[in-house]
Copies of this chain bind each other. A is one copy, B any other.
Amino acid sequence: MSLTSFIKLFMPKDKIFYTLFEEVASTLSEMADTFFKAVSDSDPKITEQYLRKIEDLEHKNDETTHKIFIELGRNFITPFDREDIHALATALDDVADYIWGSSKRMLNYSIDHGDNITKEYAQIFLKATKALGTAIKELRDMKDLRAVTESCVLINSLENEADELLDSAMMHLFNSSIDPVELIKKKDLYEMLEIVTDKCEDAANVVETIIIKYS
């Protein structure tokens, strides 16, 4: 019997991690949804309201992530490897941090409405956080591994899409005769938006690692 099989015997005892990860996934979806609303509205005041709501969601997620680390310190037996729980919680927390970071950048830089690039990123976030939700939900019973794999593959392709979006946005920015300060603002925002999908991919990679070990 392998060490992981041995640990599996103890799995039913501790479901708290699944519940906490599902809570994180749900908050991330809400953040993506709120960001989409923020950058889709043409009224700067409504944009600002939604961006500020993202801060509350980020705080909420911080608390859930903190609970995961507390449980990790308390439980000797965990449903999957400790380092994977740690890595997954960290990656998901990073997703939240960078969605809020992007929103804060808009607020701090007085970017009061979403442009086309930002809207495209927002749509990618909706899809990526939904896929993360599916993958995380399936971790609980490990029955539909194909659904997990498909979600992870989708997240990877969304990250590629975001990458290409950044490339074309940067090429466009540097070939425009935009004012340097405006260029700095846009460049900083786009770069941070792209990191959101990197972090989704990091999370998906951890999920894949877990799946490989337990399947």
Contact = CB atoms under 8 A, between A and B. Distances in A.
Contacts of A170: 108-109
Contacts of A7: none
Interface in A91-132: 104, 107-110
Contacts of A107: 167
B70 A174 contact: no
A12 interface: no
Contacts of A175: 110
A76 B2 CA distance: 8
Nearest to A166: B108
Interface string A155-181: 000000000000100110011000011
A69 B209 contact: yes
A143 interface: no
A74 interface: yes
A20 interface: no
Interface string A196-215: 00000000010001001100
A104 to B, nearest CB: 7
A181 B183 contact: yes
A11 interface: no
B171 A110 contact: yes
Contacts of A184: 180, 183-184, 187
A83 interface: yes
B73 A213 contact: yes
A3 interface: yes
23 contacts: A2-B76, A4-B76, A69-B209, A70-B212, A72-B209, A73-B209, A73-B212, A73-B213, A74-B212, A83-B83, A104-B167, A107-B167, A108-B167, A108-B170, A108-B174, A109-B170, A110-B171, A110-B175, A174-B181, A181-B183, A183-B184, A184-B184, A184-B187
Given A4-B76, A72-B209, A174-B181, 11 more contacts: A73-B209, A73-B213, A74-B212, A83-B83, A107-B167, A109-B174, A174-B185, A180-B181, A180-B184, A181-B183, A183-B184
